[in-house]
Structures are given as structure tokens and as C-alpha cells.
A and B are shown apart, each in its own frame.
Chain A
Amino acid sequence: MRQGERTWVFPTPPVIVSTGTVVGPDEGAGPLAADFDLVHPDLEIGQPSWEKAERALMEQASDIAASKAGLAKGQIQYYVGGDLLNQIISSTFAARTFGAPYLGVFGACSTSMESLAIASLIVASGAGDCAMAGTSSHNCTAEKQFRYPTEYGSQKPPTAQYTVTGAGAAIVARHGDGPRVTAATIGKIVDLGIKDPFNMGAAMAPAAVDTIQGHLQDMGREPGDYDLIVTGDLAGVGHPIAADLLQRNGVPMERTTFRDCGLMIYDVAKQKVQAGGSGCACSAVVAYGHLLKRMKQGELKRILVVATGSLLSPLSYQQGETIPCIAHAVSIEA
């Protein structure tokens, strides 16, 4: 199953039998709105606190994924999830209502592919027949925890990113119809000394480059073998940096389509999102909503989703630490 340095190649690739995607109003006003299962018109989602709202998003996304797969909640054998909040409370509290055996994971915004890789490993290894990967983020909970109160009047620099409000869940199973998870490459921590929490795209770009190259190397492939290579949330500043770094290293990215979920989810020129989207839900809803839909329609045959995460905490940046970053890549084939 292990191939090369850090890639899992699944001999019987698990099938993504269903997904659930739920987003907030800004994502609903973006270009991919039609691809999401549920769009909320407000950020509160009828809940008394932002944290409860995020939890509700996660519960709804998992419910939608389970009902689309025709599974009762009890039939999902494992739930692998994580989010951005301290002690990953959104996932844990959502798992409380779910009742499935639960593994909490934290990879900041890379959690989407981290959890999908682990869920796929569970199924591929025979540890289970069916596992769900899920992650969520909420603009206001992220602002509250990592930055300032949501209504505080401070100017955000153009390198800042806008946390996606939403949740995405995917159910992987041994049998069924749907795109297959064929391989996953586990990222290493890469830290090239960026300290600015308002420039996470630049901080994460080298991690994405490292994982993309690691994946290609382990698989003996080149970018042209993929119809699409998509990064999680490098956005307007980080994505061009990643493209440049790859070019410098001699990776022929021009042979594939190289995009970024953070730039796809919003109309960056029109919506006030600074450099673009970020957050765990960013790559989750774009991959599970938009990209898998395009795979089902036959537009894409093989894609590589490289979810990127900044593993900082409010404490670490206040103490002047640099931002350790990571990227996990999952290869999905129609």
C-alpha cells in the first residue's frame, strides 16, 4: 500500500459513495453556489452562538451525505473529522449527535484531505466497510478565535483571506458507485519563516509544493497525468507563489490545470474577500460539491486535491513564532 516515501496507493480503491455540502450566504453568492446541497441565507443558521452555528453546519452536511447514500446514521462505521476551533469542538460535538466511532483529527485547513485520506485508509485496509470524513469552518468562529471580534473595525490587508462558512462530508465505502480514492500523500511540516497570520497563502505555498512534488515522485507521475491539480486555500497571493516555485523546480505544471479552491469559491474581484477563501470548509465544499460533480459529469477523470493548512495558534503568533504549514494530497479518479 505504501509507495515511495509517503504515499498510500489503495489496491482496491474506496468509493466516495456520497457527499454533503452546506455553505453560508457569501459562498451562496459565489460562482459555485449551484453545486452545494444547502445554502444558508444567513450566518446564524438559527443558532444562539457562532460555535453552535458551525456545529449545525457539520451536522447538516453529514446528515445530507448519509441520506444521499441511503444509510441510517448507525450504519456509518467510523467518522473522521476535525475543524479549526480549539479542541476541535465542532467535529466532536457533531459526532456526539452522530453516535459513530469517532477519530478527531486536526490539520487546520488541510483537515478535509487529511480526514478523507484516513477514512479511505480505514476502508481500504479492511478495518471498516464504510467511513465518513467531515470538516467545517465558520467565518465568525474563526475570526473570533484567531483574529478580532467580528464587528471590530480593523482594516484587513489585501493578503488576508476570508474564512469559508460551511461544512463538507464524504462517505467512503468498499463497494458502490462513484469516484474512487486511488492514492493519498501525507504532507510534512514545512516552515519557511512566514510569521504574518494575515498572509497564510504565502506561508502555506511551500507546503503545497512539497506535497505535490512528493506525490508525483512517489507515484512516478507528472502533472499531465491529472486533469486538474487543485490546492486548498492558497488564494490570490499563495497560489501564484506555489506555481512559481513549482516552475523553478522544473515541474511542468503547464501540462495540467492548476487551480485553487480559495479562488474558485468566491468571485474574488467582486466579493469583499481580500485574497480569497480559506478555512477547512473551503477545500471540502469545493472538492465534495463542485469537483466531484464535474467528475460525475465526465468532465474530469483524475484529479489531485492538495488541501493546505497553517498550523498556527493565536498563542503561537502572539509569541512571535513562525507558521508551520502542511498539505495533504488525495488523488481521486472517476
Chain B
Amino acid sequence: MATKEAQSGKSAYKPLSMSPKEYKAFAKSREPSRSVFRNCLRAFLVGGAICLLGQGVQQFFMTVFHMSEKEAGNPTVAVMIIVSVVLTCLGVYDKIAQWAGAGTAVPVTGFANSMSSAAIEHRSEGLVLGVGANMFKLAGSVIVFGVVAAFVIGIIYWLFGLEG
């Protein structure tokens, strides 16, 4: 049977002989390239478009409701968050993000998407253990590092007497 052929060494192939280091370099060279320039351009265009939309909304509040620029800030952010959440719920936001890369991640819309997507995803585990516990799964680190950074900057301001 086939065993005899095996014994005769008919198929004595070389074993895998690459070290992990060699293989990593080999695999790296086989990865399809990602155009950094194209990704940056797309992120710039989409991120800019989101900010432009935000600017338009702010202008709307200022003209229609006669708010000051500062007063219009909060309702503008709220509108942008709602738009992001609606797009997330419709299953569109992740598709835009695949194209836009960091363009949709950086503005407040990205933050809203990270929270709402986690909330939708974990709804099946209930309101407390699911939605409540997982909503900040992705956004939590933004808050933690945001607070830490603000604290450090605050200390620096205080030490050098730069406040107010």
C-alpha cells in the first residue's frame, strides 16, 4: 500500500525552515500596500466635511434662534451626535468609516458612534449588564486619557501661574 511509497522516501519534502523573524519579514512583504496618502486625503475630506456640516448647523442656530457663537455650541454638538447615532442605527456609519478611515473617527460623531454601536451590540445582554456596562467599552479609554491629560495640563498651568 501507500506505506511502502512513504518508506521509499518518494515524498521527502523539505520541512518548514523559517525562523519567526524571517517569516514575519516574508509575510510583511506579501501584505497588500495601503496608500497612506489616499487614506490621509480621504480622512481630510470626510473629517472636513463633518466639521463643515457642524459649522452649518451652528450658523443655523445663530441666524434662526439668534444665539451667540458660544450659546450655539452645545445644540450644535447635540445635533451632530444625533446625526451620528441615526447613521449608526441605520448601519451606514461603519460603511462610511471603512472608506473614510480616521475622518469619521476623530470628530464628536466618532465618539457618538463608538458609544451607540456598543450599546446596540450589547442590548441582548440586558440594560444593566449589556448596554450600561458595555457602552463605554470603546469610548471609556478616550474619557480616561482625556481626564488624565486635562489633569496634567491643569497642573502645568497651575505651577506656572498661567490660569485665568
Residue numbers of A with Cβ under 8 A of B are 3-4, 9, 48-51, 144, 148-159, 190-194, 199, 202, 205-206, 209-210, 213, 216-222, 236-237, 240-241, 244-245, 248-251, 272, 275, 322
Q: Which residues of A contact B18 (CB under 8 A)?
A: 192, 206, 245
Minimum Cβ distance to chain B for residue A92 (Å):
18
B138 within 8 A of A: yes
CB < 8 Å A-B pair total? 144
Smallest beta-carbon distance A209→chain B, Å: 6
B74 in the interface (beta carbon within 8 A): no
Docked-complex contact B13 and A216, CB < 8 angstroms:
yes
Among the interface residues A51, A159, A192, A322, which one has the most CB atoms of the partner chain B within 10 A?
A: A192
Show 8 residue pairs from A and B whose CB-CB distance is below 8 angstroms, ordered by the A residue: A152-B118, A153-B105, A156-B98, A192-B20, A217-B6, A221-B5, A222-B10, A237-B32
State the CA gap A244–B30 with chains docked (Å): 11
State A4–B2 Cα separation when bound (angstroms).
10
Q: Are A217 and B11 in contact (CB under 8 A)?
A: yes
Q: Residues 122-135 of chain B: 1 if any A CB is under 8 Å from the residue's CB, otherwise 0?
A: 10100000000000
* A153 contacts across to B, CB distance below 8 A: 88, 93-94, 96-98, 104-105, 110, 113-114, 117
A322 to B100, CA, bound (A): 30
With an 8 Å Cβ cutoff, the count of chain B residues facing the other chain is: 52
Q: Smallest CB-CB separation from B10: which chain A residue?
A: A220
| Contact B121 A144, beta carbon cutoff 8 Å | yes
CA distance A205 to B31 in the complex (A): 13
User: B13 near A159 (CB under 8 angstroms)?
Assistant: no
Contact B98 A199 (CB under 8 A): no
Task: Tell me whether B21 and A193 are in contact (CB under 8 A).
Answer: yes
Chain B contact residues, majority secondary structure: helix
Complex alpha-carbon distance, A241 and B27, angstroms? 7
Which chain B residue has the least Cβ–Cβ distance from A48? B124
Q: B residues near A, CB below 8 A?
A: 2-8, 10-18, 20-21, 23-24, 26-27, 30-32, 34, 39, 88-89, 91, 93-94, 96-98, 100-102, 104-105, 110, 113-114, 116-118, 120-122, 124, 137-138
Question: Which B residues are in CB contact (< 8 Å) with A193?
Answer: 20-21, 23-24
- Decide: A158 and B30 in contact? CB cutoff 8 A: no
Contact B117 A151 (CB under 8 A): yes
Residues in A neighbouring B122, C-beta threshold 8 A? 149
Q: Roughly how many angstroms separate A199 CA and B27 CA in the complex, as a whole number?
A: 9
Q: Give every chain B residue within 8 A of A272 (Cβ-Cβ).
A: 98
Q: How far is the CB of A253 from chain B (nearest CB, A)?
A: 11
CB-CB under 8 A from B94, the residues of chain A are 150-154
Further 8 A-B residue pairs, CB within 8 A, beyond A4-B3, A153-B88, A248-B14: A149-B118, A149-B138, A151-B91, A152-B114, A153-B117, A192-B18, A202-B27, A210-B16
**A-chain residues with CB within 8 Å of residue B105 when the two chains form the complex:** 153-154
**Contact A151 to B93, CB < 8 A, known contacts A240-B30, A250-B14:** yes
B24 touches A213 (CB 8 A): no
How many whole Å from A312's CB to the nearest CB in chain B? 16
**Interface contact B34-A158, CB-CB below 8 Å:** yes
Compute how far the CA of A66 lies from the CA of B130 in the bound complex, rounded to whole angstroms.
Answer: 37
Contacts of A199 in B (CB 8 A): 27, 31
Contacts of A191 in B (CB 8 A): 20
Q: Nearest Cβ in chain A — how far from B49, in angstroms? A: 15
Q: Which residue on chain B has the smallest CB distance to residue A190?
A: B16
A56→B137 CA distance, assembly (Å): 28
B31 adjacent to A202 (CB under 8 Å): yes
Q: Beyond A153-B104, A153-B105, is A220–B98 a contact (Cβ under 8 Å)? A: no
Q: Which of A50, A213, A218 contacts B124 (CB 8 A)?
A: A50
**Measured between alpha carbons, how far is A328 from B26 in the docked complex, in Å?**
24
Q: How far is the CA of A151 from the CA of B85 in the complex (A)?
A: 10
Q: Give the top 7 A-B pairs by smallest Cβ distance, nearest first.
A: A153-B97, A193-B20, A220-B5, A220-B6, A149-B121, A49-B124, A151-B117
Q: Smallest CB-CB separation from A236: which chain B residue?
A: B32
A210 to B17, CA, bound (A): 11
**Complex-state Cα separation, A157 to B32, whole angstroms:** 9
A220 near B124 with CB under 8 A, answer no
Q: Are B32 and A218 touching (Cβ within 8 A)? A: no
